[in-house]
A and B are shown apart, each in its own frame.
Chain A
Amino acid sequence: MRTFDYARADTPEAAVAGFAQTGTRFIAGGTNLLDLMKLQIETPTRLVDISRLPLADIEEREDGGLTIGALVPNSDLAADKRVIAKYEMLSRALLAGASGQLRNKATTGGNLLQRTRCNYFYDTAAPCNKRAPGTGCAAIGGFNRIMAVLGTSDHCIASHPSDMAVAMRALDATLVTLRAEGGQRRIPIAEFHLPPGDTPHIETVLQPGELITHIELPPPPAGRQIYRKVRDRASYAFALVSVAGAVSVEDGRIASATLAFGGLGVMPWRDPAVERALIGQAPGSPAFEAAADALLAPAKGHGSNDFKIPLARRTLISCLRHLTGTSL
């Protein structure tokens, strides 16, 4: 690990002020950043420790939503009674991720910013446009079983690894930030992550020194909720495909639907065409197949990850059956 200067921030204002020099990074739980620093994939010259900032509370808002401090640990968020009662998909997404120890450290803000688990991104001997811009992409034409099938470019096909962010995407979360030059910014999660295009090293719209302070959830969506994760092991593995969603049915028709996907996309994935294919339809195979068609029409396999396309179809349809109480 390269050495660095270290400073602990006591207030959000002090944290962003501490960002004056380039090469500075915030450290929260450290479970992703330190992992990458040990491999010298990340080489910050200065760490601003934000882990003691007073941003670890969950508060109810008047509109029925929740405001979640960026430093709330993943385990506390998953176990919060209000989250369990109103945002079950978020609890379930968190509980499906990592391990008990890691969730105790991992924070809400850090989880949204965790980097890909692409094997070549981790292998510093391999070409990788995300880690070393301009060197190429070893995953294209390589072993790409865990890579994305949606939103990829000729420069990067890495999938976004977070479970929590998928639920946040389905729940239409908004990130609240404090900018380095002062002043708040509100970023809808739909606009937060960026597709790779020809700059796969730029992953979000966050600017250097911009601190996520809170995540706001609007009132919960109508209907039953789900988070289903399909992976190589029953526990403690990243998603190959995951679905976060809520669907409500009124008078025999799907009245509302929100669905987001993990493991498939270069970022937490949501496509309005999927929801359009469902709303107003009677729950059942024709509507469910149409939703899967809409999701997967733009999907592109890269060889060893081709299996994700049929797997996503089956997983989505199974989730829709559960959400609408429809049998085969």
Chain B
Amino acid sequence: MRFTINGRSYELDPDIRTSLLDLLREHLDLTGSKKGCDHGQCGACTILVNGRRINSCLTLAVMHQDDDITTIEGIGTPENPHPMQQAFVRHDGYQCGYCTPGQICSAVGMLDEVAKGWPSHVTADLGAVELDEAEISERMSGNLCRCSAYPGIVDAIGDVAGAKP
């Protein structure tokens, strides 16, 4: 099977049951994406596939052979962090840090959805999307943080998006 991850090509032959998350963590040592619940409930495994955020635990690696996969390792590096990573540091958007890679990938994917004009459950007029705190919280509800660093997370994302408080 051939995979394209963070711009690099890999040839691998994992067990057919391998989830995309396990492929990243166990076969490629890309351990930034985390395994929390392994059932799509916590969001710690969030990555971008063709630019869209998904739960990598709830999909099979074999189904993603022709896709463009981006993990937290491809979003930025310690030397050259992505603006979202910088904002999480600035706003203390974490405590233990376990959910953070998923939060950051999710936030990057989410802002792209906002740019496309996608509404959310809290959007009053579905045709007119404006990002505020309530919108950020709703759109990020698929990423749980057991340390409850939510205020910092919302601030970090709002900072990057230039959202209204």
Interface residues, chain A, with chain B CB atoms under 8 Å away: 1, 3-6, 8, 27, 29-31, 34-35, 38, 49, 51, 75, 78-79, 81, 84-85, 88, 91-92, 95-96, 98-102, 104-105, 235-236
Contacts and interface: CB of A to CB of B under 8 A. Distances in A.
Interface in B102-124: 106, 109-110, 113, 116-121, 123
Interface in B46-66: 46, 52-55, 58-60, 62-63
A81 to B, nearest CB: 8
Contact of A100 (B15, B58, B113, B126): B113
18 contacts: A3-B15, A4-B17, A6-B16, A27-B60, A30-B60, A30-B63, A31-B55, A51-B63, A75-B113, A91-B119, A92-B126, A100-B109, A100-B110, A100-B142, A101-B53, A101-B106, A102-B40, A236-B142
A30 B58 contact: yes
Nearest to A5: B16
B73 to A, nearest CB: 18
A74 B38 CA distance: 21
Nearest to B138: A235
Nearest to B105: A101
Category for how many chain B residues contact A: 35 or more
B43 interface: yes
Contacts of A79: 113, 116-119
A77 to B, nearest CB: 11
Contacts of A85: 127
A84 B109 CA distance: 22
B14 to A, nearest CB: 12
Contacts of B15: 3
A159 to B, nearest CB: 19
Contacts of A88: 126
Nearest to A84: B126
Given A49-B63, A95-B121, A99-B43, A236 B55 contact: no
B53 A104 contact: yes
A104 B54 contact: yes
A86 to B, nearest CB: 12
B139 interface: yes
Contacts of A5: 16
Contacts of B38: 38
A54 to B, nearest CB: 15
A104 to B, nearest CB: 5
A6 B62 contact: yes
Contact of B55 (A38, A75, A101): A101
Given A30-B59, A101-B46, 6 more contacts: A3-B15, A27-B63, A31-B40, A31-B55, A35-B40, A92-B126
A38 B39 contact: yes
Interface string B67-103: 0000000000000000000000000000000000000
Contacts of A98: 142
Contacts of B54: 101, 104-105
B16 A75 contact: no
B107 to A, nearest CB: 10
B88 to A, nearest CB: 18
Nearest to B65: A8
A100 B39 CA distance: 15
Contacts of B55: 31, 101-102, 105
A84 B116 CA distance: 14
A87 to B, nearest CB: 11
Contacts of B109: 100-101, 104
